[in-house]
Amino acid sequence: MKTDIILAGVGGQGILSIAASLGAAALNENYYLKQAETHGMSQRGGAVVSHLRIADHPIHSDLIPLGAADLILSVEPMESLRYLPHLAPGGSLVTNTIEFKNIPNYPELESTFEELSQKINIIRIDADQIAKDTGNPKASNMVMLGAASPFIAIHDDIIIKGIESIFKAKGDKIVEMNVEAFKAGRTFSTKNK
Amino acid sequence: MQRNLLLGVEAIGQAAVDAGISGVYAYPGTPSTEITEYIQHNQTARERNIHREWSVNEKTALEAALGMSYAGKRTIACMKHVGLNVAADVLMNMAITGINGGLVITVADDPSQHSSQNEQDSRYYGKFAMIPVFEPSSQQEAYDMTYDAFEFSEKTGLPVMMRIPTRLAHSRAGVVQKTVQEENKLKLPENKNQFILLPAYGRKYYQSLLDKQSWLTELSEKSVYNEYFEGKDKSLGIICCGITYNYLMENYPHNNCHYPVVKITQYPVPKSMLTKLEKECDELLVVEEGYPVVEELLTDFFGKGTKVSGRLDGTLPRRGELNPDHLAKALGKEQENTIAIPDTLVGRPPSLCAGCGHQDTYIALNEIIAEAGAGRVFADIGCYTLGALPPFNTVNTCVDMGASITMAKGAADAGLSPVFAVIGDSTFTHSGITGLLDCVIEKTNINIIIVDNETVAMTGGQDSSAKGRIEKICEGVGVNPEHVRLFVPLKKNHEEIVNIIREEVAFNGVSVIIGRRECVQRIAKMKKLNKAKKQA
Ligand SMILES: Cc1ncc(C[n+]2csc(CCOP(=O)(O)OP(=O)(O)O)c2C)c(N)n1
Ligand code: SF4
């Protein structure tokens, strides 16, 4: 088993909570894991990326090679495009549709996604809205993780356990809300696959 | 075995605590900052109440670490690569004095300049100082090698450098920990002259450093961290330094690299391994993160010997961070048919946060610059450097910490008037005060704007040594209190800010104008921390 995931977003959007949940899940299962993060300057509203690699055997590189990622999971639509050369043939792209416009030249993306969808499996999801609908507007990243989960080679029960261990310290209520958000994302994705 | 998910930097912090350090000394700098932050929050470190406050700069940090070592205790100093430039004086000289308690200097290099002014390679400093350098290839090795480095330092009597690149610093993996050691007892150096570098002593100690070199090479050759992997295909021998070994092996998923490989994680280079490789193989490929340090060493000047390729001959890129794809290309295993990046994609550079006070300062300063003419804003390093980018385009220089005041002074000496220096509060105490004293002594006509957000924001909101002290420092250095001005960088104060700057421009002499408002990210961070504390 191996699953290579590119997590993308904009500095400050908290993609690391997604990585942390998967990391906890992997550790619970005694899987090997490597996860490269972006710290520093780019966290001031720049493009950030995390390479997350999970396997049942030792992993060499902290970085995912080109054409090897099973999944690009992006919490921002334009950022989902930045790492496309890393995607493996047959890989999937799951992205939030809510645009983060902190640059003057933010492009129109609709036609790009249409064109791309001819070539790869794309799931676009308004995670913010679904998070609101589940009553936890702050949990859009867990909605995203849920939406991506059908494309991750780890059973969803195990991921849920990972989410539980990450949010445990904040109390049962928070845990429950995040798990709900995860499930809502997963439902959306399985329906729109 | 219990594995904890740790960043490379966290693994180093944990290992240092477990090896029984009595103090960490550091000034923040990406990607080294989290070593100290990790130790600051570590349970054992707290219980033992080891030293874990931030230092004012890297030089004071490394000197204090040397003092702790003098007293017989183990200590670690941490900094980013350019920080070692600031601490280079003590580094070069502590290699001569040697150490008493184990001393490790962790230097985090930043190839590809993710968050730095340059991508200098600290291994050159290690070589320059003639001290052992450890360059781990994984988080577990970062832990193990740091844990061992203190003993190694005590055994050799030398400071040990741990060199890590950004990629290892900021990547997580499961790490197994070892037992926690006791701290060393206080113990003065046996030779009471060990730390006196009068020329007569210095010459002797330098000779002893020279005499140790062949022993250090021998230790590298025997080190479990340097490895020789046999391979059937002798047309090429590969030398991989630090994490580049992983990039090589990524291209051989079944551990089936058919070329002989030497993995180097401890310097000086293991000469016998390299000699064997050269003898066995037709050609050599050197793979290293940063500058071509080892490649240069092995490439023979007249080109008569074994062909050596790497970053110098273009087999690998000369500049920037390496990755598995560079190795794939060098080995003819390049990935084809990847999906292209659509043309619609545009860059997203970092920018000042919404509500950041630096913006209000630059908007006001731009009004003055429109009157005074462009090309006279000497800035410094921190979040406020982003004032060099649109929409502000205010800043004309950013070179090294503290250079705002001193470069503005030089330009003023050359006849440019008015001149502005823009410097952050932390940068001011790091390296600005000495330049200010130069200005005061020479009555330079300069306007120094200290953008005081009461924290070290760029590196994640650490405590600033400047907090609550700036006015007193300036007045103590000799700035006329009438020309130490204060404003609050808020939109509603725009007119007032412009007026203050204008008044100080009219004054011929040293003006210090302080814009003080706490960084909004720091406010949020402290709120979160306090909430977590209350919950606990
Ligand atoms: C010699 C050196 N040490 C450390 C750094 C890393 N670094 C960059 S900016 C900065 C501090 C900035 O703090 P401050 O001057 O208060 O500005 P702010 O980011 O808060 O606006 C640091 C530590 C560096 N570039 N050079
Ligand atoms: S982190 Fe603080 S100082 Fe830096 S841009 Fe954001 S608000 Fe401004």
What's residue A63's pLDDT? 97
Question: Given a cut of 90, is residue A192 above it in pLDDT?
Answer: no
Check A37 against B337: CB less than 8 A apart.
no
Counting one residue from A and one from B, how many pairs have CB atoms under 8 Å apart? 153
Check B342 against A82: CB less than 8 A apart.
no
Mutate which of A66, A72, A84, A108 to disrupt the B interface (most B C-beta within 10 Å)? A66
Cα separation, A124 vs B57, in Å, equals 47
Question: Given a cut of 90, is residue B337 above it in pLDDT?
Answer: no
Cα separation, B396 vs B12, in Å, equals 38
- Span B498-519, average pLDDT: 98
Distance of CA B17 from the midpoint of ligand 2 (Å): 31
Q: What is the DSSP letter of B202?
A: H
- Span B59-83, average pLDDT: 98
The alpha-carbon gap from B438 to the nearest alpha carbon of chain A, in Å, equals 31
Cα separation, B512 vs B509, in Å, equals 10
Instruction: List the structure tokens of B227.
Output: 């490895």
Check B172 against A35: CB less than 8 A apart.
yes
- Label residue B149 by pLDDT band (50, 70, 90): very high
Higher pLDDT, B301 or B69: B69
Cα separation, B290 vs B444, in Å, equals 40
Mutate which of B338, B381, B389, B529 to disrupt the A interface (most A C-beta within 10 Å)? B338
Check B168 against A62: CB less than 8 A apart.
yes
Domains of chain B: which residue ranges?
A: 3-189+196-211, 227-330, 357-522
Does this complex have an ipTM over 0.85? yes
Question: Given a cut of 80, is residue B390 above it in pLDDT?
Answer: yes
Domain B3-189+196-211, CATH 1.10.274.10 — does that match?
Answer: no
Question: Given a cut of 70, is residue B495 above it in pLDDT?
Answer: yes
Q: What count of other Cβ atoms lies within 10 Å of the Cβ of residue A15?
A: 26
What's residue B335's pLDDT? 82
Chain A: residue whose CA lies nearest to B253: A60
- Span A156-171, average pLDDT: 93
- Measured CA to CA in angstroms, residue B430 lies from B104, B157, B401, B434, B482 at distances of 22, 30, 7, 10, 25
Q: Out of B324, B341, B458, whose CB is closest to A82?
A: B341
- Span B374-398, average pLDDT: 97
Instruction: Tell me if B376 sits within 8 A of B505, measured CB to CB.
Output: no
Check A61 against B246: CB less than 8 A apart.
yes
Q: What is the DSSP letter of A93?
A: E
List, for residues A44-98, the tens digit of each pLDDT value. 889 999 999 999 999 999 999 999 999 999 999 999 999 999 999 999 999 999 9
What's residue B303's pLDDT? 85
In degrees, rounded to 5, the angle at the alpha carbon of residue B274 between the alpha carbons of residues B273 and B275 is 90
Q: Which fold has domain B227-330?
A: Rossmann fold (3.40.50)
**Between 3.50.50.60, 3.30.9.10, 3.40.50.970, 3.50.30.20, what CATH number should domain B357-522 receive?**
3.40.50.970
- Span B16-39, average pLDDT: 98
Question: Given a cut of 90, is residue B531 above it in pLDDT?
Answer: no
List, for residues B163-208, the tens digit of each pLDDT value. 999 999 999 999 999 999 999 999 999 999 999 999 999 999 999 9
Q: Is B83 in the pocket of ligand 1 (CB under 6 A)?
A: yes
Q: Is B107 in the pocket of ligand 1 (CB under 6 A)?
A: no
- Span B122-128, average pLDDT: 98
What's residue A137's pLDDT? 92
Q: Is B384 in the pocket of ligand 1 (CB under 6 A)?
A: yes
Instruction: List the structure tokens of B514.
Output: 């302080």
Check A63 against B173: CB less than 8 A apart.
no
- Do B227-330 and B357-522 fold alike per CATH? yes
Check A39 against B339: CB less than 8 A apart.
no
- Span B246-258, average pLDDT: 95
Describe the crossing of helices A156-167 and A16-28 by its angle, rounded to 10 degrees: 110
- Span A160-179, average pLDDT: 93
- Span B43-53, average pLDDT: 98
Mutate which of B3, B7, B38, B172 to disrupt the A interface (most A C-beta within 10 Å)? B172
Q: Is B292 in the pocket of ligand 1 (CB under 6 A)?
A: no
What's residue B64's pLDDT? 99
The alpha-carbon gap from B251 to the nearest alpha carbon of chain A, in Å, equals 9
Check B458 against A45: CB less than 8 A apart.
no
List, for residues B434-454, the tens digit of each pLDDT value. 999 999 999 999 999 999 999
What mean pLDDT is reported for chain A?
94
The alpha-carbon gap from B138 to the nearest alpha carbon of chain A, in Å, equals 9
Chain B: residue whose CA lies nearest to A41: B115
Question: Given a cut of 90, is residue A125 above it in pLDDT?
Answer: yes
Q: Is B356 in the pocket of ligand 2 (CB under 6 A)?
A: yes
Question: Given a cut of 90, is residue B460 above it in pLDDT?
Answer: yes
Chain A: residue whose CA lies nearest to B113: A41
**Between 3.40.50.2300, 3.40.50.2020, 3.40.50.300, 3.40.920.10, what CATH number should domain A2-192 receive?**
3.40.920.10
- Label residue A43 by pLDDT band (50, 70, 90): confident
Domains of chain A: which residue ranges?
A: 2-192
Instruction: List the structure tokens of B508.
Output: 């011929």
The alpha-carbon gap from A140 to the nearest alpha carbon of chain B, in Å, equals 20
pTM for the model stands at: 0.97
Q: Is B521 in the pocket of ligand 2 (CB under 6 A)?
A: yes
Least confident of A5-19, A49-63, B219-233: A5-19
What's residue B1's pLDDT? 66
- Label residue B336 by pLDDT band (50, 70, 90): confident
Q: Across chain B, how many H-helices and E-strands are there?
A: 21, 18
Q: Which of residues 378-407 of B touch A (CB under 8 A)?
A: 383, 386, 390
CA-nearest residue, atom 6 of ligand 2: B353
Distance of CA B119 from the midpoint of ligand 1 (Å): 16
